[in-house]
Amino acid sequence: MTLESLRDVFMRCAIINYGVLLVWFLVFAFAHDWISHCTATGSSHAWSSSTPFIIR
């Protein structure tokens, strides 16, 4: 693997990472109320009681 091809791979990874970061920023910026409503303490959603990884 040459230095140029390695540089291309890392550039593609950086572009993908910035894209994911941008998507998360947009979700948190524009859907903040919805996210905080879904993750509120004492939520009575069906999925919150069936999640096996929550220690109560």
- CA angle at residue 19 from 14 to 5, to 5 degrees? 30
pLDDT of residue 24: 92
Contact between residue 45 and residue 38 where contact means Cβ atoms under 8 Å apart: yes
1-56 tens-digit pLDDT: 899 999 999 999 999 999 999 999 998 888 877 777 777 765 555 555 555 555 55
> Phi and psi for 44 in degrees, rounded to 5?
-105, 25
- CA angle at residue 36 from 31 to 40, to 5 degrees? 160
pTM score of the predicted model: 0.55
pLDDT of residue 3: 94
Contact between residue 35 and residue 28 where contact means Cβ atoms under 8 Å apart: yes
Domain map (residue ranges) of the chain = 1-32
